[in-house]
Amino acid sequence: MKNSGLYKELLCDISPISEDTWSRLKEMAEVRHMDKNALLIGAGSIVNKEVFVVNGLLRCYVLTTEGKEYTTAFYREGNFVTPFFSRSVHGSSTVSIEVLETSELLLFPEQDFTKLRHANKELERLAGVVVQQELQHKSTKELKLATGNLKELYAYFQYAYKGMERRVQQKHIASYLGVDPVSLSRIRKSNHKKESTR
């Protein structure tokens, strides 16, 4: 595996793992390069891989009953995509995952990964950190959505996804906020005016 050291370092940024744990993970890992605009997972397909983003950017989204896309999350370098939150009871995906930038991914067979995680305290701890971060992100977003305060939700997006505004198209940010691009433009203009008067 060509970039083995980098892969291990990125995983250790989440939670430390030993060389032995990495060796076991490395044996089951598959490196996949994906082009921009490719679909990694389609809604309804069976999810049997754990996905880690080495570099690049992915977007999770669902289609509303009106056929509009609603972005639920973004995943960038150093992130595990958390299919546990997007699997149905039958193991199929309830979301679609699109590649927004040319990306390098590490894929782990879900069953093998889960078996190793249950037997390995370091990996169990790493998985716990990932799940905790995802739950915190989802609950914070839901609370912001419930208040209906778009400015606060946009501020949360800027906090949770620092630097992403330069990488993500406005239409995807708008769909994450649950608004149309025009409303997002208004929020941005309002913010710029406040910043310029300081």
Per-chain mean pLDDT for the chain: 88
* Domain boundaries 4-119, corresponding CATH code: 2.60.120.10
- Sequence-distant contacts of 21-27: CB under 8 A, at least 24 apart: 21/120, 21/122, 21/123, 24/116, 24/120, 25/108, 25/113, 25/116, 25/123, 26/1
Condensed to tens digits (0 to 9), the pLDDT of residues 165-177 reads 899 999 999 999 9
pTM tops 0.95, yes or no? no
Using DSSP, state whether 130 is helix, strand or coil. helix
Name beta bridge partners: 107: 30, 51
Report whether pLDDT(188) > 90: no
For 133-138, what is the mean pLDDT?
A: 88
CA distance linking residue 59 with residue 8, whole number of Å: 24
Condensed to tens digits (0 to 9), the pLDDT of residues 56-92 reads 999 999 988 888 899 999 999 999 997 555 555 566 7
Give the residue from 53, 11, 62 showing the smallest Cα distance to 32: 53
Condensed to tens digits (0 to 9), the pLDDT of residues 5-29 reads 889 999 999 999 999 999 999 999 9
Taking the domains of the chain in order of start, what are their residue ranges? Answer: 4-119
